[in-house]
Structure 1
Amino acid sequence: MNVSFFSGTRFERLQGLLLWLIAAIHVAVLASLVLVLGSLTAHAQQPEPACHGTSLVDEMKAKDPAAYQRIVAEGDKVPNGKGIFWKIEKPGTATSWLLGTMHVTDPRVLKMPAGADAALTDAKTIIVESAEVLDEQKAMGSVLANPELTMFTDGTSIEKLLSKDDLALLESGLKQRGIPLAAVSRMKPWMLMAFVSLPACEMARKAKAEAFLDKRIAMDAAAAGKSVKGLETYAEQLGAMASIPTDIHLKSLVETIKLGAKMDDVFETMTDLYLSGEMGLTIPLLKQVAPDGSDDEGYAEFEELIVTKRNHLMAERAAPILSEGNVFMAVGALHLPGEEGLVELLRKQGFSVTRAN
């Protein structure tokens, strides 16, 4: 990959795609539940494909260090933008912990930061985004009970919404993953995003039912007899995605497919930022380097519905549990930073929240 990927409409596409990839990663957690994609199970018996991708952060450091320094300066302004592991304290209660996660099976992500394993072992109560992750049959029932959230139920199909050329791109992209268009044509476009944006190696691990970080935390806790509590239901999470206009989802779906193998670079960039704990760099990386004319309005809607609104809901529901002390809380890392991120919102709830790594 060369530096031209950062220029012109290429990076404008990347800006929107990184933002929507955040959502797609989250939605991919549900992929094993929506087994209209039964074809994925066929890949479970095949050798796992190698992971590819180059971090765009590393490339920028090497080829445009001045631009990278501008992004770092902007990222430094993001409240609580550094670190994914935090200590939560309140007078009279035992210490609790907050871990930012990435909803993937990548072995690098599954290795938690120093101190997190011990904190998890010692904790009495575990909080995850949705406790339904422990019971896939129950989660499937929740999804099927609200089909309008994931599927077109009015006779609409993806074939009717895309142009002939874009539909051909989608069909080709799905075919590369072993997914026939006919099997998923009534899925909402944001569901399809999960299957064309994730690297083949990640999809293969999911097909083998390997646990992503949040699920592994919940499963280990339940096996140890700990109380596992969720902050949201799958129906609520699906509803947040479904509330965003379909045309925005369609645009992101098409642009994702057009980038093809470059999506591996996008995914590696997200992973690189996560592993370095530099969550505050994510949005500045996109907004400072992207050219004028990028879809700020679309991002604002995404941020409000998928991040900010859910942050407030999580903080409100977590507060009484955290007040009991000795809790280990694990939620998506991009819910932590910012003026309306979980770290700041928990402080407003009366907790002292400090970096643990």
Structure 2
Amino acid sequence: MTMAGGLNTERLLGWRLPSPGNTMLGLCALFNITLLAILLLTLLGIKPAHAQEDLSCVGQDLVEIMQRDEPQKYQNLQAEADKVLNGKGTFWRIEKDGLAPSYLLGTMHVTDPRVLKMPKGAQEAFASAKTVVVESDEILDEQKAAVAIFARPDLSMFIDGKSITDMLSTQDKQRLEDGLKQRGIPLVSVLKMKPWILASFVALPACEFKRKAQGASFLDKKIAEDGVASGKSIQGLETLVEQIQAMADLPMDFHMKALVETLSLGDRMQDIMWTMTDLYLQENVGAIMPMVTAVTPENSDADEDGYASFEKRIITDRNHVMAGRAAPLLAQGSVFMAVGALHLPDEEGVIELLRKQGYTLTRVN
């Protein structure tokens, strides 16, 4: 299948595209900082009831189980992962003659203490950098984030009198209510939110909500906060409204299918997130999406046009924006740049786009 401009969607990320819901749940935790900003604002507004409850973040490594119980499926997963250009590595050195070296870290937008440690050498690179670049610097200021997000309520909320429950079956409404309840969020408090926001809420394990409710920072925010504390210049590559607009540009039907599929996974999401985190810590970014596809049910009603648009609008388009806006900052040298890890791989990933600007990128570690 080919999109406008001759881009083959099956090569967009180096693997065959999964179904809409699979794509959504595979990316929401890694990609969109705006989802985390909205989540934080929601938590501040409703004070989740289980904020002090002891919730375990431990899950099963689904790849290990697959390797043991379904060796052929595991081999197929590894073969798909190996096809992904720049699929190995989350930490890269950026060099060009005459400039002090800069660094690129692929992040995971979670509060997991293992992720917050960053890979070997990253802390030293951060300490030596003069400028810290993140997806959006608006995450540093909750009031600024709130103003930015709610300046365009039409992008994240139903403003025409509709509610999310108007579009769900009785069964899916109950699943949504149960999933939100496990995370301390009453359904009535988020009835007007768009489905892509609610999908991100129920895709994140309850333990993430507990940590965020207690004030823990996800990796990108912590990097920005540490940069401020160190007196470094903090620069953002996107605005929160731009990120919201990218999600809002996709068809409502696509978002509803993604929400329903995410709801159908229920408690299995904790195992999926645990496995995604394991692969990230192994710096095996290229295996993340094949894993998500392998361990979630096939969608017989897959919307190929919808998820092709998703890949282009949420990944590829933003990769070009990030690389383009990073250019004048990298030209000054001594930059520590942190963006979602799945923005790094493939022919139109940030790594290759920076190489086309004349930079040499080398995997660290």
Does the TM-score normalized on the shorter chain lie above 0.5?
Answer: yes
8 Å CA contact 2:85–2:347 kept in 1: the answer is: yes
Which of 299, 309, 312 aligns to 1:301? It is: 309
SS of the equivalent of 1:100 reads strand
State the distance in 2 between where 1:39 and 1:33 align.
10
* Alpha-carbon distance, 1:177 to partner: 2.3
In structure 1, the residue matched to 2:228 is 222
* Alpha-carbon distance, 1:292 to partner: 8.2
SS of the equivalent of 1:50 reads coil
Letter in 2 for 1:319: A
Which of 231, 240, 247 aligns to 1:234? It is: 240
Task: Output one character per residue of 1:177-221: Cα deviation in whole Å (capped at 9) or x when no partner.
Answer: 222221111000111112211111111001112111001100011
Structure 1 pair 81–36 and aligned structure 2 pair: CA distance change class (3 A) = closer
Structure 1 pair 176–43 and aligned structure 2 pair: CA distance change class (3 A) = closer
**Alignment root-mean-square deviation, CA:** 2.0
8 Å CA contact 2:182–2:206 kept in 1: the answer is: no
Letter in 2 for 1:106: D
In structure 2, the residue matched to 1:126 is 132
In structure 2, the residue matched to 1:328 is 336
Letter in 1 for 2:343: H
State the distance in 1 between where 2:63 and 2:294 align.
13
In structure 2, the residue matched to 1:34 is 41
State the distance in 1 between where 2:191 and 2:239 align.
26
Letter in 2 for 1:318: A
State the distance in 1 between where 2:39 and 2:303 align.
31
Q: What TM-score does the superposition give when structure 1 sets the normalisation length?
A: 0.91
Structure 1 pair 298–287 and aligned structure 2 pair: CA distance change class (3 A) = farther
* Alpha-carbon distance, 1:22 to partner: 4.0
Can you give the 5+ residue segments of structure 2 that lack an aligned partner in the other structure? 1-17
State the distance in 2 between where 1:344 and 1:224 align.
30
8 Å CA contact 1:36–1:184 kept in 2: the answer is: no
**1:161 and 2:167 correspond:** yes
SS of the equivalent of 2:216 reads coil
| Higher mean displacement: 229-238 or 153-162 | 153-162
In structure 2, the residue matched to 1:20 is 24
**1:172 and 2:172 correspond:** no
In structure 2, the residue matched to 1:10 is none
SS of the equivalent of 1:186 reads coil
State the distance in 2 between where 1:40 and 1:324 align.
43
* Alpha-carbon distance, 1:47 to partner: 3.1
Letter in 2 for 1:326: S
**1:60 and 2:69 correspond:** no
Q: What TM-score does the superposition give when structure 2 sets the normalisation length?
A: 0.89
**1:312 and 2:316 correspond:** no
SS of the equivalent of 1:154 reads coil
User: 1:249-260 to 2 correspondence within 5 Å?
Assistant: 249-260=255-266
* Alpha-carbon distance, 1:28 to partner: 3.7
State the distance in 1 between where 2:340 and 2:40 align.
20
- Percent of aligned pairs with the same amino acid: 55
| Higher mean displacement: 237-246 or 109-118 | 237-246
Can you give the 5+ residue segments of structure 1 that lack an aligned partner in the other structure? 1-13
SS of the equivalent of 1:126 reads strand
Letter in 2 for 1:151: M
8 Å CA contact 2:19–2:304 kept in 1: the answer is: no
State the distance in 1 between where 2:298 and 2:259 align.
21
| Higher mean displacement: 19-28 or 208-217 | 19-28
Which of 147, 151, 154 aligns to 1:148? It is: 154
Structure 1 pair 195–283 and aligned structure 2 pair: CA distance change class (3 A) = closer
Task: Output one character per residue of 1:221-246: Cα deviation in whole Å (capped at 9) or x when no partner.
Answer: 11111000000000011111111111
Which of 350, 356, 362 aligns to 1:342? It is: 350
* Alpha-carbon distance, 1:142 to partner: 0.2
SS of the equivalent of 1:170 reads helix
8 Å CA contact 2:199–2:259 kept in 1: the answer is: yes
In structure 2, the residue matched to 1:8 is none
8 Å CA contact 2:22–2:293 kept in 1: the answer is: no
State the distance in 2 between where 1:292 and 1:179 align.
28
| Higher mean displacement: 191-200 or 220-229 | 191-200
8 Å CA contact 1:308–1:341 kept in 2: the answer is: yes
Structure 1 pair 239–344 and aligned structure 2 pair: CA distance change class (3 A) = same
Task: Output one character per residue of 1:275-317: Cα deviation in whole Å (capped at 9) or x when no partner.
Answer: 1111112233355787584544433222111111000000000
8 Å CA contact 1:24–1:191 kept in 2: the answer is: no
8 Å CA contact 1:83–1:279 kept in 2: the answer is: yes
8 Å CA contact 2:41–2:142 kept in 1: the answer is: no
Structure 1 pair 69–23 and aligned structure 2 pair: CA distance change class (3 A) = closer
